Structure 1
Amino acid sequence: MMWRSHLVMGLGAGYLVSGFDPVLLAAAGLGSLLPDLDHPNSWIGSRIPILPTIARGVLGHRGALHSLAATLALGGIIGLLWGREIGLAMAAGYLAHLAGDMLTLSGVPLLWPLPVMVRIPLVKTGGLLERFVVFPALTLGLVYWAVLPEVSGYVGRVMAWLT
């Protein structure tokens, strides 16, 4: 999937586990971009060019970084360094990335180091379906999910006050 789709999925996962906390949402958003650190055209890889070269050389593309082991390691390390909530939010974003990539033709080695690719090939990365259906639907879903409860709760309180 494209980084935009991963980011929206990561923010949704962050909202699910942490609520509307900007720091925790930022951690989830960052976590959703980290698995593609091994690709030079990724959002992070294109900004810090040496990282994909090192990561790909050591781990390969869609290798260890696209696994549950990496998710648990990241969440655990971040949790120890910066607190359990930030570790959980980052791991949720990371896991959302893996879920998104499972829907692509390539899939992910979820149980790495076992050489089994987990895939439900519904979307071609960067294809028309992702660009014009998946990404807009994810974005609208996130906005609806995050904003509507706040708006409807506020409107409900105003209506109760008026009546």
Structure 2
Amino acid sequence: MLSLAAAGFATTLACAGTAVAGTGPTPAPDQRPPVSTVPSETGNPLTARAQAAGVCSDAYQIGTTSYAYRGTEKIASVKQFYSPACKENYGYVWVWKSFLDKDITFDLQVGVWSYDRESLIGVRHEFDTHQQEFWGNGADTVNDCTSGDGALTIAGEQGTYAARTSKRC
């Protein structure tokens, strides 16, 4: 099995204190979900793809943003979101335009990593895609230690390009 560094993974596993994954203060006004339905790198729970995944409209980012690298090229951002209304966490991946411009078909997996259960929860898979925005399904992990988790695989290339956000407990 390849180590994360050997496989080209960029992973941030710094602990963010002792708050439960979905707890903490309400986000500042500049962190609240936008009112438009336009997809963005920051993550918009009102987009068509977010709604298709069942993301609650009040979801906002918790924890850090992490990045997946293909060699030295940054190819995707990974985030974790929390919805107070639905009491669910969501994984989020935004594939960078500079990578998409290469017209490479890839598979993508996104979800919430539960450290308590040692498994990926709310996982969604997309195969043979060129999409930019990916949301995981709702994960009932608010009482777990969690991270947003995303992995991109390219046919014919060894390994997976993945990232995991900071651990939220």
TM exceeds 0.5? no
TM-score by length of 1: 0.24
Computing the radius of gyration over CA atoms, which structure comes out larger, 1 or 2?
1
Task: Name the structure with the higher strand share.
Answer: 2
Task: Name the structure with the higher helix share.
Answer: 1
